[in-house]
């Protein structure tokens, strides 16, 4: 198909210099368009009209390249640690991340999988930024650091779980969705999967945003009964005052 090689750049148009950002964003575009498997060094090189080996200047190896892609995606997520209404902020972040995941569904496996093979401290910094900022948000709201961590865990755990759930039922394009879904369900032996088969219509229309929001309500109210901001930084911690401080 695309064996144009140098014909594109013949007349004067010099090859643009590569940069980590350029490499990562074309990698992301490729993953978005054709899936994770399409992202090979050779293919990406071809996409950039460069020798595959040149990529190693910008990512130590393929794994690092993948990390870079997830970092790039997570950078699209905005967090405002100074918002005093932490619950609203958590809600907003959750919905933002959900939209992000729907926009880059092929990246989600990386998002949930890469951290499993990398000790926390060794992860790309861009990946840890949300964690740090949410901790900041919660501590700022009056939680003790340890409690903030607990809240974060419950929150992010639930959030990731929801994303996995929703994406599992959404991969195919909405047009064929119902057909393929039902076709799939039809394959199931009626003896062994009566309930699942009966739920076909219900499965067909999944309102992810609503489900997420409802889950968040459960979680937040549940959390409120177990932990809440103490609102006066207790027993001897440093005066953590950031009103109008440097960002």
In angstroms, rounded to a whole number, what is the distance separating the alpha carbons of residues 38 and 42?
Answer: 10
Is residue 38 at the binding interface for a copy of itself, with CB under 8 A as the rule? no
Q: Which is nearer to DNA, 56 or 193 (CB)?
A: 56
Number of residues that bind a copy of itself (CB under 8 A): 74
Q: Is the Cβ–Cβ distance between 99 and 163 less than 8 Å?
A: no
Only one of the segments 45-53, 65-73, 82-90, 124-132 lies at the binding site for a copy of itself (rule: CB under 8 A); that segment is: 124-132
Q: Is the Cβ–Cβ distance between 65 and 124 less than 8 Å?
A: no
Q: How many other β-carbons are positioned within 10 Å of the β-carbon of residue 172?
A: 13
Is residue 20 at the binding interface for DNA, with CB under 7 A as the rule? no
Q: Which is nearer to a copy of itself, 121 or 236 (CB)?
A: 121
Only one of the segments 39-47, 72-80, 87-95, 134-142 lies at the binding site for a copy of itself (rule: CB under 8 A); that segment is: 134-142
Q: Which is nearer to DNA, 20 or 153 (CB)?
A: 20
In angstroms, rounded to a whole number, what is the distance separating the alpha carbons of residues 190 and 67?
Answer: 43
Q: Which is nearer to a copy of itself, 119 or 239 (CB)?
A: 119
Of 83-122, binders to a copy of itself (CB under 8 A) are 105, 108-109, 112-113, 115-117, 119-122
In angstroms, rounded to a whole number, what is the distance separating the alpha carbons of residues 136 and 145?
Answer: 9
49: helix, coil or strand?
Answer: coil
Q: Which is nearer to a copy of itself, 23 or 106 (CB)?
A: 106
68: helix, coil or strand?
Answer: helix
In angstroms, rounded to a whole number, what is the distance separating the alpha carbons of residues 72 and 148?
Answer: 26
Is residue 217 at the binding interface for DNA, with CB under 7 A as the rule? no
Q: Which is nearer to DNA, 47 or 211 (CB)?
A: 47
Most distant CA atoms of the chain, gap in Å: 71
Element housing 195 (H / E): helix 194-198
Partner whose binding site includes residue 20, from a copy of itself, DNA, none (CB under 5 to 8 Å by kind): none
Contacting residue, 22, 78, 188, 209, with a copy of itself by CB under 8 A: 188
Binding mask 166-185 for a copy of itself (x = CB under 8 A): -xxx-xx-------xxxxxx
Residue among 15, 4, 67, 17 nearest 39 (CA): 67
Please report where in the chains the tokens 């990390």 appear, as a residue: 67
Closest CB 3 distance from DNA, rounded Å: 11
In angstroms, rounded to a whole number, what is the distance separating the alpha carbons of residues 102 and 84?
Answer: 28
Which residues in this chain contact DNA in the complex, by CB under 7 A?
14-15, 17-18, 39-43, 45, 50-54, 56-57, 61-63
């Amino acid at each position: 198909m695309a064996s144009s090689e140098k014909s594109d750049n013949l007349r004067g148009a010099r090859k643009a210099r590569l940069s980590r950002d350029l490499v990562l964003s074309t990698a992301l575009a490729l993953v978005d368009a054709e899936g994770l498997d399409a992202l090979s060094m050779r293919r990406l090189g071809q996409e950039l009209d460069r020798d595959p080996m040149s990529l190693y200047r910008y990512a130590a190896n393929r794994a690092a390249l993948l990390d870079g892609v997830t970092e790039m995606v997570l950078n699209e997520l905005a967090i405002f640690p100074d918002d005093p209404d932490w619950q609203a902020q958590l809600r907003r972040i959750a919905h933002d991340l959900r939209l992000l995941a729907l926009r880059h569904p092929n990246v989600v496996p990386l998002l949930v999988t890469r951290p499993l093979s990398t000790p926390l401290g060794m992860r790309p910094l861009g990946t840890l930024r949300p964690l740090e900022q949410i901790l900041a948000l919660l501590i700022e709201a009056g939680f003790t650091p340890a409690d903030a961590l607990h809240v974060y865990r419950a929150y992010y755990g639930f959030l990731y779980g929801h994303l996995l759930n929703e994406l599992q039922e959404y991969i195919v394009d909405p047009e064929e969705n119902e057909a393929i879904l039902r076709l799939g369900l039809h394959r199931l032996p009626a003896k062994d999967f009566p309930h699942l088969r009966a739920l076909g219509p219900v499965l067909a229309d999944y309102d992810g945003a609503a489900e997420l929001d409802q889950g968040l309500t459960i979680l937040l109210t549940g959390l409120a009964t177990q932990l809440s901001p103490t609102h006066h930084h207790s027993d001897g911690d440093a005066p953590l005052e950031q009103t109008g401080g440097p960002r």
